[in-house]
């Protein structure tokens, strides 16, 4: 009789990437086991997108992913596209809608995505073991052995899909990096990404604006995002700031444009049109009152616009379009939506996600040094990389 603890493939981690991969492999008739230490499978999917899971984006060009090798993600993203995932969602009759910027969400609940992935796994008789602690992983010859709280399981292929350490209180760990290192794989330094930034010193005064949001454009180096900024009790957040946080490094300044839609010279035009109006009034027409007041205080500009020299008006406009903040840090993994860095893409085949120097070992999802923008890009990477590995394992 065949050893019941011997599988064709063991997938470590039952998140988006692991479940997608297991479902694909299972349908090829391979005996597949998913192991997760959490009691509940797919937790991050369940809380994502405010409980509605922003499961993909209409467009996922490689430029919207950060990686030491910007070309790496291309192959998987081209072979398993947002349309492929939408077809799957439609096949399960899951209702969805498009929000801003091509972001697709479930109408009802993220639970439907988890149920769909589990149903795909069930089609191929994939076995899922939750609340299963992994003690050790070894490779003897061509066989991987995983020692766990529920027994020792063996397989010819091992898929590392345990994600990154963002939101540890949900069971996220740096396990993928430890295991990667154990097998001699290089790890690109992991950092919290899509994370709020903190302010200190004089800029900490902005924390008084906690809860105020405004439409902005925020830039860090060449990265620029036109979305909302939210002031928090620790510093800055909101989609524009989360997006630039992935590009931000300690010591960098970020620049906020509080009037991204206004044409150059707009404030001088206001001065000509309405010389008796104060700067505060003009700013409060485009921004929340408390923010307008705080900016005016810092610009030290009181009195009617008509009493300001053109040069000063221009200087104020320039400052409003390029307001520098120098964050002193991030809110860390506790608040980061993802982790950038991870298992180096140089170690993996972009076609199959298999480790070049460890045949049979595959790394997928957030564990890999590929990090998407905010807006469904990270789940698409989980689906695409999971599918690519699943195809490769299924057809060997």
Out of 360, 365, 390, 394, the residue judged to bind ligand FDA by CB under 6 A: 365
Residue range at the interface with ligand FDA (CB under 6 A); choices 7-15, 74-82, 139-147, 260-268: 7-15
Out of 378, 387, 392, 394, the residue judged to bind ligand FDA by CB under 6 A: 378
Neighbours of 307 (CB within 10 A): 12
Residue 254: partners with Cβ closer than 8 Å, 6 or more residues away: 197, 218, 219, 220, 236, 241, 244, 248, 324, 325, 326, 327
With beta carbons less than 8 A apart as the criterion, state whether 199 and 253 touch.
no
Residue 71: partners with Cβ closer than 8 Å, 6 or more residues away: 62, 350
Instruction: Identify which of residues 54 and 257 has a Cβ nearer to ligand FDA in the complex.
Output: 54
Out of 9, 17, 199, 358, the residue judged to bind ligand FDA by CB under 6 A: 17
DSSP state of 263: P
3-class secondary structure, 50: helix
- Nearest residue to 13 via CA among 235, 180, 162: 162
Instruction: Identify which of residues 53 and 308 has a Cβ nearer to ligand FDA in the complex.
Output: 53
Residue 390 near ligand FDA by CB under 6 A: no
Out of 8, 11, 18, 392, the residue judged to bind ligand FDA by CB under 6 A: 18
The length of the chain is 396
Instruction: Identify which of residues 164 and 394 has a Cβ nearer to ligand FDA in the complex.
Output: 164
> For residue 19, which phi and psi values (nearest 5 degrees)?
-65, -40
Residue 120 near ligand FDA by CB under 6 A: no
Residue 159 near ligand FDA by CB under 6 A: no
Q: Rounded to the nearest whole angstrom, what is the least distance from the CB of residue 52 to ligand FDA in the complex?
A: 8
Instruction: Identify which of residues 12 and 121 has a Cβ nearer to ligand FDA in the complex.
Output: 12
- Distance (Å, whole) CA 132 – CA 36: 6
Q: Which of residues 132-151 bind ligand FDA (CB under 6 A)?
A: 134
With beta carbons less than 8 A apart as the criterion, state whether 254 and 219 touch.
yes
Residue 36: partners with Cβ closer than 8 Å, 6 or more residues away: 12, 13, 14, 15, 18, 128, 129, 130, 131, 132
Residue 173 near ligand FDA by CB under 6 A: yes
Residue 332 near ligand FDA by CB under 6 A: no
Residue 36 near ligand FDA by CB under 6 A: yes
Instruction: Identify which of residues 16 and 341 has a Cβ nearer to ligand FDA in the complex.
Output: 16
Residue 47 near ligand FDA by CB under 6 A: yes
Q: Rounded to the nearest whole angstrom, what is the least distance from the CB of residue 348 to ligand FDA in the complex?
A: 14
Query: Mind giving me the DSSP string for 145-164?
Result: EEEETTEEEEEEEEEE----
Tokens 């379009």 locate to: 321
Out of 227, 347, 366, 369, the residue judged to bind ligand FDA by CB under 6 A: 366
Q: Rounded to the nearest whole angstrom, what is the least distance from the CB of residue 186 to ligand FDA in the complex?
A: 19
Tell me how many residues contact ligand FDA (CB under 6 A).
Answer: 37
Q: Rounded to the nearest whole angstrom, what is the least distance from the CB of residue 360 to ligand FDA in the complex?
A: 19
Tokens 């999917």 locate to: 45
- Nearest residue to 161 via CA among 361, 394, 391, 374: 361
When CB distances to ligand FDA are compared, the closest residue is: 15
Residue 49 near ligand FDA by CB under 6 A: yes
Burial environment of residue 262 by CB neighbours within 10 A (0 to 12, 13 to 18, 19 or more):
middle
Out of 53, 118, 279, 393, the residue judged to bind ligand FDA by CB under 6 A: 53
With beta carbons less than 8 A apart as the criterion, state whether 244 and 278 touch.
no
Instruction: Identify which of residues 13 and 360 has a Cβ nearer to ligand FDA in the complex.
Output: 13
> For residue 32, which phi and psi values (nearest 5 degrees)?
-125, 135
Q: Which residues make up the interface to ligand FDA (CB under 6 A)?
A: 12-18, 36-38, 43-44, 47-49, 53-54, 134, 161-163, 166-167, 171-173, 175, 337-338, 365-367, 376-379, 382
């Amino acid at each position: 009789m065949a050893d019941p603890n011997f599988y064709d493939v063991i997938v470590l981690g039952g998140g988006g990437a692991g479940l997608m991969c297991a479902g694909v492999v299972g349908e090829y008739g391979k005996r597949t086991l998913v192991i997760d230490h959490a009691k509940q499978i797919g937790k991050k999917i369940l809380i994502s997108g405010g409980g509605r899971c922003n499961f993909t984006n209409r467009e996922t060009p490689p430029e919207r992913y950060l990686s030491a090798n910007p070309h790496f993600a291309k192959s998987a993203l081209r072979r398993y596209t947002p349309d492929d995932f939408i077809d799957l969602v439609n096949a399960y009759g899951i209702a969805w809608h498009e929000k801003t910027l091509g972001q697709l969400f479930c109408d009802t609940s993220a639970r439907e995505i988890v149920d769909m992935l589990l149903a795909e796994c069930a089609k191929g008789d994939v076995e899922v073991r939750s609340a299963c602690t992994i003690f050790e992983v070894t490779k003897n010859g061509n066989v991987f052995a995983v020692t766990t709280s529920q027994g020792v399981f063996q397989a010819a292929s091992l898929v590392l899909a345990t994600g990154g350490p963002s939101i540890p209180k949900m069971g996220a760990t740096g396990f993928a990096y430890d295991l990667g290192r154990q097998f001699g794989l290089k790890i690109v330094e992991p950092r919290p990404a899509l994370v709020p930034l903190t302010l200190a010193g004089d800029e900490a005064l902005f924390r008084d604006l906690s809860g105020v949001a405004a439409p902005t454009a925020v830039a860090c180096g060449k990265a620029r995002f036109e979305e909302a900024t939210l002031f928090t009790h620790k510093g800055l957040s909101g989609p524009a700031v989360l997006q630039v946080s992935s590009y931000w490094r300690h010591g960098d300044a970020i620049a906020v444009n509080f009037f991204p839609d206004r044409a150059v010279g707009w404030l001088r035009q206001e001065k000509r049109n309405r010389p008796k109006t104060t700067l505060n009034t003009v700013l409060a027409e485009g921004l929340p009152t408390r923010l307008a007041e705080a900016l005016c205080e810092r610009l030290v500009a009181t009195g009617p616009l008509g009493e300001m020299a053109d040069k000063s008006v221009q200087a104020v406009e320039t400052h409003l379009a390029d307001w520098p903040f120098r964050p002193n840090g991030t809110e860390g993994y506790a608040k980061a939506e993802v982790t950038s860095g991870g298992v180096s893409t140089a170690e993996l085949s972009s076609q199959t996600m298999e480790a070049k120097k460890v045949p049979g070992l595959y790394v997928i999802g957030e564990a890999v040094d590929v990090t998407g923008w905010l807006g469904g890009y990270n789940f698409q990477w989980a689906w695409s990389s999971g599918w690519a590995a699943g195809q490769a394992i299924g057809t060997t």
